[in-house]
Amino acid sequence: MYKVFVNDKPIIVTSSQKKENDFPLYILKNSVTEEIIHKLKSNSVKGITLYTPNLEEGWRAFLKTFNIVSAAGGLVLNTHKEILCIYRFDKWDLPKGRIEKGESVEEAAVREVEEECGIDGLQLEQPLLTTYHVYFQNGMKLKETFWYLMTTTYAGALTPQLEEGITKVVFKKQKEAAIALTNSYKNIALVYDTYLNM
């Protein structure tokens, strides 16, 4: 199953025929992406399930209906197992950003965390997951974000990247992070939950 968020409402692409939610169900190959997005932007629909008999084939077809923007970021732990959080546009978030031309996904993940938080000494531990969300900027785009678990021994001052709208950067204990991330995006909750379930 794949989840794509539109304003924090999910499109669930699945090959399962089991009804797992109350969302309207559509056949993926008979669906028009713009119409699905339009339905989700209305207040009447909380999510949509798209059924495809072949998940990977259906997912590839679904992706072809978008301009895709690739990004990378990290869930960073310090030596006390505290989680690096940023505050941007009135929500708590995790550091991430676009992959630049000629840059590997891993390089982009480290660079973006360093730039957004004023941190260094990052160590990539392992991939966590890839999240997807639709946004509107010069048309409709799908952002795919590759997330990594990272660690650091950095103990210096943290500097928010103000030009990116970040006003706070802080390491939070797990309970504090869980509370802060209730004021976040569904994709960020997925990243955090993936980390907790490792």
The pLDDT tens digits of the residues spanning 97-128 come to 999 999 999 999 999 999 999 999 999 999 99
Where in the chain are the domains?
A: 2-63, 71-196
Q: How confident is the model at residue 42 (pLDDT cuts 50, 70, 90)?
A: confident
Residue 78 has pLDDT above 80, yes or no: yes
Give residue 19's pLDDT. 84
Q: What is the pLDDT of residues 168-182, one digit of tens each?
A: 999 999 999 999 999
Report the DSSP pairing between strands 83-88 and 166-172: antiparallel
Residues with Cβ < 8 Å from 151, sequence gap 6 or more? 76, 77, 78, 122, 123, 125
CATH class of the domain at 71-196: alpha beta
Contact 15, 51 (CB under 8 A): yes
Whole-angstrom Cα distance, residue 168 to residue 91? 10
Give residue 107's pLDDT. 98
